[in-house]
Amino acid sequence: MTEDVAAYDGPLPAVTNLNRAYWDALREHRLVAPRCDHCGHHWLPPGPWCPECWSPSFTWTELSGRGTITSWVRFHQRYFRRGPFEVPYAVTEVTLAEGPRLYARPIEGAEPWVGQAVEICYEDASADLTLARVRPVDVA
């Protein structure tokens, strides 16, 4: 972590019993998602049952962190009075290799495009908060 870690002044996630494993794993620079014990479906955001078969039985599993940008948007308005990023800023929708979709900001200087291969990287925003970010994958 760097000195800038304590400077994060943006919106904070609502950490609950349902999503605590996700946020704890991000702090360890790992990406996890619930995986249904019945049908094997992965999903995000975390929830109490499988959105595919409605089974309440699931196990947290580590994901590869690789995926493809399926959509993105550039915001030109600040929606939070305080925040760590200046407008305009981009947010991507990434379909991960295991199936779930994740929304994350690209790293600085990375211009997103639909179909771009990306991987998850981690931003230690504070001592207690790590955010998932995306960066392009060199597919040469």
What pLDDT digit, counting tens, does each position of 106-126 carry? 998 888 999 999 999 999 988
Whether the predicted pLDDT of 25 surpasses 80:
yes
Residues of the chain with pLDDT > 70, as a percent, come to: 91
Q: Is-contact 34 60, C-beta < 8 A?
A: yes
Per-residue CA distances from 75 to 86, 88, 90 (Å): 10, 5, 6
Q: Is the pTM of this model over 0.85?
A: yes
Residues of the chain with pLDDT > 90, as a percent, come to: 72
- Taken as a whole, the chain contains a residue count of 140
